[in-house]
Amino acid sequence: MAGIRLTVTVDDDRAREALARLAARGRDLTPVMKVIGQTLRTSAVKNFETGGRPPWPPTKPLSVLIGRKMAGKDVTTRRGQASLLRAQQGKRTLLDTTRLMKSVTVEAGRDAVAVGTNLIYGAIHQLGGKAGRGRKVTIPARPYLAVQPEDWTEIGRLLVQHLQRALR
Of the candidates 114, 107, 112, the one whose C-alpha atom is nearest the C-alpha of residue 159 is 112
Containing structural domain, residue 141: 28-57+105-168
Q: Which stretches in the chain have pLDDT values below 70?
A: 1, 60-91
What digits encode the pLDDT tens for the residues 99-122? 999 999 999 999 999 999 999 999
Phi-psi group of 159: left, alpha or beta (phi > 0 → left; psi -120 to 50 → alpha; rest → beta): alpha
Reported as a single tens digit per residue, the pLDDT across 54-79 is: 998 877 665 566 666 666 666 666 65
- Indicate whether 86 and 136 sit together in one domain: no
Q: What angle do CA 9, 15, 20 make, to 5 degrees?
A: 135
Regarding whether 76 and 51 lie in a shared domain, the answer is no
Whether residue 6 lies inside any domain: the answer is no
Residues 70 and 141 in one domain: no
**pTM (predicted TM-score):** 0.76
Q: Per-residue DSSP letters for 70-136?
A: HTT--TTSHHHHHHHHHHHTT--TT-SSSHHHHT-EEEE-SS-EEEE---TTHHHHHH-EEESGGG-
**Number of domain units in the chain:** 2
